Amino acid sequence: MPPGRLPLEVFQARPTGRRPGVDPEFTILVGDSGVGKTSLLVQFDQGKFIPGSFSATVGIGFTNKVVTVDGVKVKLQIWDTAGQERFRSVTHAYYRDAHALLLLYDITSKTSYDNIRAWLTEIHEYAQSDVVIMLLGNKADMSSERAIRRDEGERLAREYSVPFMETSAKTGVNVDLAFTAVSKELKHRSVQIPNEPKFQIHEYIEAQKEKSSCCSYF
């Protein structure tokens, strides 16, 4: 290839904004203390769950993870925030630069579900208007202690027009799907391929959930 010339595929997939795989996509995990943000990130990053006593996150920290979607690398920089109220002002400072926010509640905790409205109010106040938001009902493995039905999660998500799924950081159910769906949405926003249909995150999630419904237990 002569210098200065781009192969056709690269040209066709030329980024219009951020460059997937090069520029990090800032993704932030938010939600009440104890809902499982750190555990979800550990499961996604290392494929494991560390049981035992709960140690609350202090401040904020991040993990880099590259996800390949449709042959394109998306570099996620995932920020794990502290859910405790006293760290809230630190977390707010990061909202403005977020490209995606994964908002978690715990299906065994009505309080964490009720607080989702307050989290969404804060997100709408501090984050960019085009931020990708996904609602996750975590700890889906704890069905005997369930306090929030799945349809209540779905209803809340519909009300705010955000995609939703239940996850388990313990068993790994839907953890990859949540991050893959967000990565696909971010990739479709930053890379425009001619004649490619608009990515519909809700439809993608429903289709993937149907595919795996044979093997899931909730």
Ligand X SMILES: Nc1nc2c(ncn2[C@@H]2O[C@H](COP(=O)(O)OP(=O)(O)OP(=O)(O)O)[C@@H](O)[C@H]2O)c(=O)[nH]1
Binding site for ligand X (CB under 6 A): 33-39, 51, 54, 56-57, 82-84, 138-139, 141-142, 168-170
Q: Which is nearer to ligand X, 2 or 51 (CB)?
A: 51
Q: Which is nearer to ligand X, 56 or 207 (CB)?
A: 56
- Residue whose token pair is 């949405």: 185
* Cβ proximity to ligand X, 12 vs 84, nearer residue: 84
Tell the smallest beta-carbon distance from residue 109 to ligand X (Å).
10
Measured from the CB atom, the residue of 86 and 198 that comes closer to ligand X is 86
Q: Are strands 164-166 and 60-69 parallel, antiparallel or unpaired?
A: unpaired
What is the nearest approach in angstroms of ligand X to the Cβ of residue 156?
A: 18
Taking residue 39's Cβ as centre, other Cβ atoms within 10 Å add up to 24
CB of 138 to ligand X, least distance (A): 5
What b-and-e string marks burial along 105-142, b requiring 16 or more CB atoms within 10 Å of the CB? bbbbbeebbebbeebbeebeeebeeebbbbbbbbbbbe
Euclidean distance between CA atoms 218 and 216, whole angstroms = 6
Min CB(114)–ligand X separation in Å = 16
